[in-house]
Structure 1
């Protein structure tokens, strides 16, 4: 049997994950408000069929299936950026949720350029290497 996860500490009165998600949706709009609807679902599936492996993992000599279609250029609700498939990249969840988030922080602060947001960019590979704990 696997190890049990320690119970998460939650200060009294702190919002639950569900309440936090509801609050975030109010602030940025729900997933469907942001364009993630049936049309997106079909486009995403087609893209992943054509691009089945994570771009970031391939750049680090790893082979991992892509499960996420990432918008290289954060679209912030702009439909033109949202549907520009030349700016989509196939990503595993780990690259999308960790490396790409760090890249977007750097981009928002002006420290890196748009082309650095590709998960196979030199900076993305360097960030991924620094984050990986399973490298030997």
Structure 2
């Protein structure tokens, strides 16, 4: 069975669709991996991928996509040696989560939403990564 499919038109929900759909590239199971990554980010942050989010960086306020916003918070946190997870996690969690596991979920999600499909893991690999970090 081939990993490639052919569709006559684009299908999916804006914000969850992999770049392959937009650029009319061959469709593989990696489009589902992309959507899964977006869903994980949405669950962890409680932010919609379809809405532009405001990033407050010093004096400027910019509108950012969810993936861009999460990547920037991680880069800022790493550069300042601060925990970035607290900046992106759903505030309703109120600190009641395992920080290492949440960081893992976000890192897996970002691997899943890589622009280049060849850089995304397979869903089997995603499951293996997550299960390998269970207690």
TM-score range, shorter chain: under 0.3
Larger-gyration structure (1/2): 1
TM-score w.r.t. length of structure 1: 0.27
TM-score by length of 2: 0.27
Q: Does 1 or 2 have the higher relative contact order (CA < 8 Å, sep 6+)?
A: 2
